[in-house]
Amino acid sequence: MNKVSKLSIAALLGVLSNPALALELFGVTLESTTRDELRGAGQQAGLVLIREGDEDNWFDVYDSSTVLDGSSRFYLGFVKQDQRLAFAEYEFGGLVRKQLLRDLTLKYGAPEVQGGRFVSDHGYHWQRDGIEIELSSDWQNYKTRLIYRVPANMGNLFAEMSARDKPQEAEAEPVSLY
C-alpha cells in the first residue's frame, strides 16, 4: 500500500492524531452530525448509494469499495425523529483484519479486547468522544465489520423500531389453544 493510500484510509476512518478534536468520518463530526450532512459528505467522498433508508428501512446502504480498500458496503443508520446518527458500519469480505486492526490501533490506541472461544473470535473495542468503535468478525456471513456507534442514539433507534412494530403485533388475532 503506498503512502497516499495509507493517508486516505486514516482520513476516511475519521481517526485524528489530536485527541482534543472530535471523532470525524468524511470530515464530519460523528457525535453531532445529521443524516443529510453525513450522507452528503459520504457521497462526496465517493460512496455510491445503493438504497436510501425510508419508513421501512432504518439505514442507508452504500457501495464503499472505492472509498476504503477491502470494504464492500457501508451502512448509515439514523434516528428518524431528529435525524441524528445512530451507527456507521463498514463491511469487509472475509475475516482477515490484521492491517485494519493495526491502523485502528495506531490511531485510537490499544483496544479493549473482547475474548471469544478462539483467537479469531476476538472483538476489538475503542471509546472516543462519545462514540463506540468496534472491529469484529461476523462468522455466519464471513464478513469483518467496523462499526461506529452513538450509544444513546442507538437506544432511540431501537425504541423507534420497537414502537413501529407494536401496532402490527396488536392487530394480530389472539391465538387460543382451547
Look at residue 148 and tell me if it is in a domain: yes
Residue 52 inside a domain? The answer is yes
pLDDT band at 91 (very low <50, low <70, confident <90, very high): very high
Provide the domain limits for residue 71: 3-165
Share of the chain above pLDDT 70, in %: 76
- The count of structural domains within the chain is 1
Least confident of 72-86, 129-143, 151-165: 151-165
Residue 140 maps to a domain: yes
Is the model's pLDDT at 93 over the cut of 70?
A: yes
- Asked whether the predicted pLDDT for residue 178 surpasses 70, the reply is no
Report yes or no on 101 lying in a domain: yes
- Give the per-residue pLDDT at 97: 80
Distance CA 108, CA 69 (A): 19
User: Does residue 170 form part of some domain?
Assistant: no
With respect to residue 174, please indicate whether it lies within any of the assigned structural domains.
Answer: no
Instruction: With CA atoms as reference, report the closest residue to 138 among 101, 90, 105.
Output: 90
63 phi and psi angles, rounded to 5 deg = -85, 125
Task: Indicate the residue type of 128.
Answer: R
